[in-house]
A and B are shown apart, each in its own frame.
Chain A
Amino acid sequence: MKKYLRCLAAGALSAGMCLGSGLARAEDTIKIAFIAPFSGAFAANGDAWLKMLTFAMNNVNAKGGALGKKFELVTFDDKIQPAEALIQLKAATDQNLPIILGGIGSNVAAAMEEGVEKYNRRNPEHRALYLNLSALSMPLTEENCSFWHFRFASNVTQRVASLIKGLPKDITKVYLMNQDYLYGQGVESDTKKFLAKFRPDVKIVGDEFVPMGKIKDFSSYIPKIKESGAQALITSNWGPDFNLLMKSGNEGGLDIKYYTFSAHLNGGPTSMGPEGGNRTITVLEGHDNVGADNHIPTAEDFVKRWRDTKPGIDFVWTNFQTTFDMLAAAINKAGSTDPLKVALALEGMQTTDIYGHVNTMRKADHQIQMPLYTALFTKPVPNDSEGTGWGWKTESMVSAEDLTFPTACQMKRPDGT
């Protein structure tokens, strides 16, 4: 009876239910804001990101956190809308959470970078620092680069370069298909650039833009692709635009390889299933079989502990761990969580990732320099993805040095730095 009463009391407040770790918080933590979509069309990404971030954070906390304190994540829902993200930015700074993680959706990231830059200019006593986990578009670290923005993921150019470098020698005819917006257009122009540079033998037999999320049946593209004689399709399509494309391709008997950038993200393996097997190659920071393939004990242990939490998804954003490692190191180095000091400490910082590679946060544009993998969706693999029986197997690895490109960033630095 008592239990029921307690439940009743609990129910009585369920209208005002709190997110996450609840009210009984230890006060002595370093709180980090995480602004991401938790409702709306991209809520699944917010959830998946949070899960991986929390795991990465717990790893750092287990090693003692920073300044003797543990980290703690506070989430804010931006609903994948820039305006809403800026409101939540204000909410975070109000709560004195100067370090802000984010990076789902290039539109939101662009708004956040600008917003933080202006906020810092106008509120020099209460600055904020924006750590971008996964928004890849180039302007963020090129023409719009900001001192207060750090990108902890490889950008579009680096991804395309590693894909082209990893392209097998026997592929000489490729077909390009990209979504008709900034990201897809960036991928397309970089693909052409790097093909000309690294693989002049490869011929582009088709170059297509599709409107984002509008095409329900890709079968009309299949004859075009087939006719072109392409051996591989390089596409930045993600979500339904990729899944429907591959579905139509398979149904139409199109026997080619799909070189992608997002097929590994949460939900990707599930929607591909066996249909994507042995034909989908993706560019990624890491996957759950890198450790087992190359016998890296730290990575194997990492994946084992990750899988023990029954996450349902692969830990593909291995850079999330790097983010927290660097952040903890920077806070320790700075001796405080003051955004300016932390930012200065982050510049040029080097840490070793779970695979043993050295990652560098470049000072010039605040873009992380790290190796990238390309992997094939295949079986059998030691650790399958999302319970499909299929999983990722490394095809190639391109080192950080090979992915270091000059930047056009002209950063406006704070006075005296």
Chain B
Amino acid sequence: MEIVLNPLLNGFVYGMLLFMLASGLTLIFSMMGVLNFAHAGIYMIGAYVAFDMSRLIGFWAALIVAPLVCAAIGAGIEVWGLRRTHHNGHIAELLFTFGLFFIIERGVQMVWGMLPVPYRVPALLDFPLFRLYGVDFPAYRAFMLLIAGGMLLAIRLLLTRTRVGLIIQASLTHPQMVSSLGHNVPRVFTLVFAGGCYLAGLAGVIGGNYQVTEPAMAASLGPIVFVVVVFGGLGSLSGCFVSSIVIGMVQTFAVSIDGSLADLLGPIVAWIGTDNLAGEILSIPVSRVGPLLPYAMMVGILMFRPRGLMGTRDT
């Protein structure tokens, strides 16, 4: 039990962080067809802004303000950038966000320097909440779960109970339909993009001190978020949620497995020997390749089911 429960809990926390990032991305992707490469960049900005603000006005105020800053940046990007490239097609939009990511990454280095900044968990939450088989579970992680859960609830309510939410929901599955119904689609686009960036910013605020706030944080998390979104499927928030948790779990569980293919195929490996590439690949334990599994999963699912786990449309 203890082998399972701890990774389960931690995988869940990590999965929730992924979900906060991925939910915004999936909203943007499903509706506008743009895989926003700059999304993880916004996450990073969120973390850095929160770091600065938590020193000026405290963590709790930063929790409110920093995501709003990110939302404003997102709205700006949509209005002054993406909208202008829209008529050149999705590829151009994707490349636009791709270039934007370059600039954000370098810009952050220019403004905040290249070294990690000491963005720490607020003292109020810096205590172990409970012990599980001798390992502490920090209160901050519980707080993260709380925020992520609250956010999930808020998105659900927003999408199902408000007019804007209904339009967005319809746009997720039938983007052309909604625009032909005469809704101001550009405004909805801006709203969704800003909303997605808000979520990324919020993830940055609570993820920045859960991990390390440094200029490489975006580049290292970005691809994984893509994997989550693509794996979960286009136009499906629940798919996104499931795939976030699955990938969070896979990444955390894989490291606790010490076996390798060689253990299963003992005699064959003995015959091949470990002194060549094939033997080397076979004798690598699962715990070492664990973090690669999501990519393999993504490639696999795209080959055979391009709409992802629970998607409504092909990617």
Binding site for B on A (CB under 8 A): 41, 43-44, 47, 180, 208-211, 213-217, 219-224, 226-227, 240, 243-244, 247, 251-254, 266-267, 270-271, 273, 388
Which segment, of B59-67, B109-117, B233-241, faces chain A?
B109-117
A180, B288: Cβ atoms under 8 Å?
yes
In angstroms, how far is the closest chain A Cβ from the Cβ of B34?
25
List 9 tightest A-B contacts by C-beta distance, closest first: A253-B136, A44-B114, A267-B115, A214-B291, A251-B138, A219-B10, A271-B116, A220-B252, A220-B7
Does B118 belong to the interface (CB within 8 Å)? yes
Q: Which residues 250-299 in B have Cβ within 8 Å of A in the complex?
A: 251-253, 255-256, 285, 287-292
Residue interface mask B1-42, A partner, CB < 8 A = 1:
011001100110110000000000000000000000000000
Q: Which residue of A lies closest to B126 (CB)?
A: A251
A271, B7: Cβ atoms under 8 Å?
no
Residue interface mask B205-224, A partner, CB < 8 A = 1:
00000011011110111001
In angstroms, how far is the closest chain B Cβ from the Cβ of A226?
6
Q: Which of B10, B113, B289 contacts A220 (CB 8 A)?
A: B10
Q: Which residue of B lies closest to A218 (CB)?
A: B255
A251, B136: Cβ atoms under 8 Å?
yes
Given A223-B135, A243-B116, A270-B118; A251-B140 close (CB under 8 Å): yes
Q: Which residue of A lies closest to B220 (CB)?
A: A213
Chain B residues bordering chain A, tally (CB within 8 A): 48
A211, B136: Cβ atoms under 8 Å?
no
Q: Which of A210, A216, A247 contacts B221 (CB 8 A)?
A: A216
CA distance A208 to B136 in the complex (A): 22
A residues in contact with B13, CB < 8 Å? 217, 219
B residues in contact with A240, CB < 8 Å? 116, 211-212, 214, 216-217, 220
CA distance A296 to B113 in the complex (A): 34
B291, A215: Cβ atoms under 8 Å?
yes
A residues in contact with B120, CB < 8 Å? 273
Does B89 belong to the interface (CB within 8 Å)? no
Q: Which residue of A lies closest to B133 (CB)?
A: A223
B residues in contact with A221, CB < 8 Å? 255
In angstroms, how far is the closest chain A Cβ from the Cβ of B81?
24
Q: Which of A180, A214, A226, A243 contacts B135 (CB 8 A)?
A: A226
B residues in contact with A251, CB < 8 Å? 128, 136, 138, 140-141
CA distance A227 to B113 in the complex (A): 39
B residues in contact with A244, CB < 8 Å? 211-212
In angstroms, how far is the closest chain A Cβ from the Cβ of B136?
3
In angstroms, how far is the closest chain A Cβ from the Cβ of B297?
15
CA distance A4 to B78 in the complex (A): 37
B212, A247: Cβ atoms under 8 Å?
yes
Residue interface mask B170-196, A partner, CB < 8 A = 1:
000000000000000000000000000
A209, B116: Cβ atoms under 8 Å?
no
CA distance A313 to B140 in the complex (A): 30
B residues in contact with A215, CB < 8 Å? 251, 255, 291
In angstroms, how far is the closest chain A Cβ from the Cβ of B107?
13
CA distance A47 to B115 in the complex (A): 11
B residues in contact with A180, CB < 8 Å? 288
CA distance A196 to B2 in the complex (A): 32
In angstroms, how far is the closest chain B Cβ from the Cβ of A198?
28
B residues in contact with A220, CB < 8 Å? 6-7, 10-11, 252-253, 255-256
Most buried by A among B7, B114, B217: B114
Given A214-B291, A220-B252, A240-B214; A252-B114 close (CB under 8 Å): no
CA distance A267 to B116 in the complex (A): 6
B residues in contact with A41, CB < 8 Å? 215-216, 219
Given A211-B291, A223-B6, A270-B115; A216-B135 close (CB under 8 Å): no
Q: Which of A47, A219, A266 contacts B252 (CB 8 A)?
A: A219
Q: Which residues 129-145 in B have Cβ within 8 Å of A in the complex?
A: 131, 133-138, 140-141
In angstroms, how far is the closest chain B Cβ from the Cβ of A384?
13
A-B contact pairs, 23 of them (CB 8 A): A43-B114, A44-B115, A47-B114, A209-B287, A210-B255, A213-B220, A215-B255, A216-B221, A219-B13, A220-B6, A220-B11, A221-B255, A223-B135, A252-B135, A252-B136, A253-B128, A253-B131, A254-B135, A267-B115, A267-B214, A270-B115, A270-B118, A271-B118
CA distance A266 to B285 in the complex (A): 33
Q: Beyond the given A220-B6, A227-B134, A253-B131, could you list 19 further A-B residue pairs with CB under 8 A, ordered by the A residue number?
A: A47-B114, A209-B288, A210-B255, A210-B288, A211-B291, A211-B292, A215-B255, A216-B220, A217-B252, A219-B10, A223-B135, A240-B116, A240-B212, A240-B220, A252-B135, A253-B128, A253-B136, A267-B115, A267-B116
